[in-house]
Amino acid sequence: MFKQLLLEIWGKRVNLVENRGNIISMNYEEGNTKTHSNAIFLYGPDTGAGYTGTQHIYANNKTGKISMYGEKGYLAVFTASSTLARGDVSFINDGEANLYGRNSVGLFITKDARGKTISKSLILL
């Protein structure tokens, strides 16, 4: 079960995306269609300039189980632009997350300006 909640109060937002069930990710290939580099949680520049202090929370609940079998998979992807200055991002795994594919990663932060962190950034693994 995948839940999403968006709460907005006085120009501030909390965006919660939570997995409480099973997610299975695998690459797909049929005919001209081929997938790769699947991502479960993706933070991107989706917050408008009118919002300040937005909190983005991506969570795998203690009842959640994520299994990624495809090659080059990403459990959590952090990519954004100047919108990062307007809020915080949290990726939380309290459940089970298994990455079986070659070249897969748990947390990916883009190396260009869209993944630039600021001095008060904190990453806990």
**pLDDT (tens digit per residue) in 78-89:** 876 655 555 678
Sheet with 96-99, edge to edge strand ranges: 22-25, 65-68, 96-99
Q: Span 89-96, mean pLDDT?
A: 89
**Closest C-alpha to 69, from 19, 39, 25:** 25
pLDDT tens per residue across span 18-53:
999 999 998 888 899 888 889 998 887 665 566 666
